[in-house]
Chains A and B, each alone.
Chain A
Amino acid sequence: DPDGDGKIKIIAAHNQTSPDNPYQTGMLKFKEVAEAESNGTIEVEVHAGTIGTEESQLVEKLQLGAADVVLVSPGFMTQTGMREVDLFSAPYLFTSYEHWLKAVDGEVGKEMADIINEKSDNSFKLLGYWSAGVRHYYGKKPIESVEDLEGLSLRTQTSGVVSDFWQATGAIPSGISWGELYQGLQQDVVDSSENAYPFFVQQAHHTTPNGKYITETGHDYTTRFLLINGEKFDQYSKEHQEIILKAAEASVKAERDATNAQDVEYKEKAIEEGAIVNEIDTQPFIDIARPILEDFAKEIEVEALLQKIIDLE
């Protein structure tokens, strides 16, 4: 409240520039509820990629106070020096959407929120868990069993545990930037990739020879953290704090609904445009992932948390 008139302005930002992205749906819901409930004493300015299309930059802005509410993925949170958060980017940590819901909306979610708040010295306070959809394999051939991945080059995230998992399946992780991936799949630079339907279908990856076959590996029920600057939050009035939490809750529902709807919509679009989708028994993949998960949890000291998540299955 720099002007002392009881009004506050919240700069909310995510990294997606497309206006029909679920992130934008969620942020606009946040704005709508916060502004309506506060009778306009809270103003929310939503930036869709305008103050940063890189998540690392959004986190830096949040810490510095140049943005108040931002959305980030676990991998980028890790770079702020809290490795525990990276657990949520591990493959097959969650084995179904229901499993994910039970975890993030329950005890596990609360514990993770506490870790984030403590480790960041209250720079970050968690407002809610959003989702960026379910990630699947897509490549130049369908995957019928784990063996089919042997020797396939696969564009995947560059953080450790993800690449460890894919290496264990026999695939060769390859670090091509997202912007160059369409070309890479088209020109046979890389054999395959993995992502959630809305993201790769919007980029037309499924229309390339090396992106045509989609296997629903469901290896990552993704988590996105909706964060607010904790120090600023504490300075807001009790009333404003409650409104913000309420707005965040509404945004969580809106964003998840939008994501789920888009997952279906873009899968249909992919099939219509000639992509071939197959399902697969994920148990063999889960079996490969489990020891990697356990080692990883030990390394970043969240074994108890991992056990709680496994027990929720």
Chain B
Amino acid sequence: MGFLLLGLFIVLMLVGVPIAFVIGIVALLGIFGIPYTPEATVPMKMVNGLDSFVLLAVPLFILAANLMNSGKISEKLINLALAIVGPIRGGLAHANVLVSMMFAGVSGAAQADTAGVGKILIPSMLKQGYDKETAVGVTAASSTVGVVIPPSIPMIIFAGLTNASIGALFLGGIVPGILIGLGMMIFIYIVAVKRNYPRTARIEMKKFMKLLVEAIPALLTPIIIIGGIITGFFTATEAAAVASLYTLVVCMFYYKSLKVSDLPKILMDTLSLSSLSLFALAAASALGELMSYYQLGTLAQEFFTNNVGAEWLFIIIIIAFFLFVGTFMDAIPAMILFVPVILPTALQFGIDPVHLGLIVVMTLAVGLITPPYGLCLLLAAKIGDMSIERSFVAVIPYIAIVLIVLLFIAFFPDIAFFIPKLINPGLF
């Protein structure tokens, strides 16, 4: 039965049925195969899967990101990033990474970062003589920090699934996110020296201060969001609404870069983008239901305790598994399906849910740039007009960097938890 469904899954996926529907069809047929379960469980579970307050953060953070792009906040961040790291060799590429890190602090939506930053920086990098591989590779790969540096949609979903503290997860993402960013910049520097990439002229202090002041309202957003969450001023979901409102107000009244008449389109884009991944989530909930009728969580726990035994091996297996799943599935449905399966085993091994969350989220972040389904890779390739195959080759070194940081965090979690423990020991 299980293999039949798996086969069907693969065939339907290959012939081009949308993956969210493939998930739904397999769930429906699977439940059909269980005599004690009515098929109406599938639509019921699709609604139940969405009936969770934390999920509202998904469209709201996407809204915040869309507002940033439409309201030209992204441009202000790019200008500031260029002023800071532009004078280093390979300046535009460094700025690409730095601006993704800044963008990451406002929005948990990595695709919006690729789209917003890529549209501006890929053409200008090409103009300045960077090769296409670097332009597309850096843009796609640096967007992955968006889900590691807080706020992060996948972290919110993970916390909702496991009851892990969202504040702890958010704070735990800061150091790994910065390490990934720095790692990428070091790699870029090496390449830039070898290929003699240009740097931008150092700008004078006065001009720099002007750029900084211009960007300050935008840079305040992460402080408001993270601060609000860890002080308990508002929940993660509410923070997403606050981020959107704040961005809206700043763009409309401070920068005056948004008009009321721009809003319908922004809202429509937000709904479009979020309903895609959340419909997949709804379908995944139905499939997850099927898996819980088979009690896969218990089976996995038995399997791992009997056959694996060692915690480090379990962690490696989780990473390899989510790397694989991430190649063809969004982070959200992947977590809905598989986190409940691995959680009992992780708890038995004594792995803290917050630690597990960091591992899973960072691993699934790599999925954003692995084909065939890597949203950031697809977007960047489209903007840079490059084939998916060539784009993937271009991001491989960056994937290696993310994996190195990931392994450090997986086996030396204190690297990540040093900051959150300092700020708020009560979280642990």
Contacts and interface: CB of A to CB of B under 8 A. Distances in A.
Contacts of A182: 165
B292 A60 contact: no
A96 to B, nearest CB: 33
B292 A57 contact: no
A189 B295 CA distance: 38
Contact of A183 (B41, B232, B289, B293): B232
Interface in A1-19: 2-3, 9, 11
Contact of B40 (A11, A64, A183): A64
Contacts of A183: 165, 167, 232
A177 interface: yes
A51 B293 CA distance: 7
13 contacts: A9-B36, A50-B292, A51-B293, A54-B48, A54-B51, A60-B48, A61-B41, A66-B38, A66-B40, A180-B235, A184-B232, A187-B231, A189-B233
Interface residues of B toward A: which range? 20 to 34
B48 A11 contact: no
Interface string B225-255: 0000001110100000000000000000000
Interface in A41-72: 47, 50-52, 54, 57, 60-61, 64-66, 68
Nearest to B229: A183
Contacts of B40: 64, 66
A81 interface: no
B44 A186 contact: no
Contacts of B35: 2-3
A64 B163 contact: no
B36 A2 contact: yes
Interface string A153-195: 0000000000000000000000001011011101111000000
A68 B167 CA distance: 38
Interface of A: 2-3, 9, 11, 47, 50-52, 54, 57, 60-61, 64-66, 68, 177, 179-180, 182-184, 186-189, 208
Nearest to B230: A187
A66 B233 CA distance: 40
A41 B208 CA distance: 80
Contact of B295 (A50, A66, A68, A187): A50
Contact of B53 (A2, A177, A208): A177
Contacts of A64: 38, 40-41, 44
Contacts of B293: 51
9 closest Cβ pairs, A-B complex: A187-B232, A189-B232, A50-B292, A66-B41, A2-B35, A186-B426, A65-B38, A179-B163, A57-B48
B98 to A, nearest CB: 32
Interface in B282-316: 289, 292-293, 295, 297-298
B37 interface: yes
A184 B167 CA distance: 12
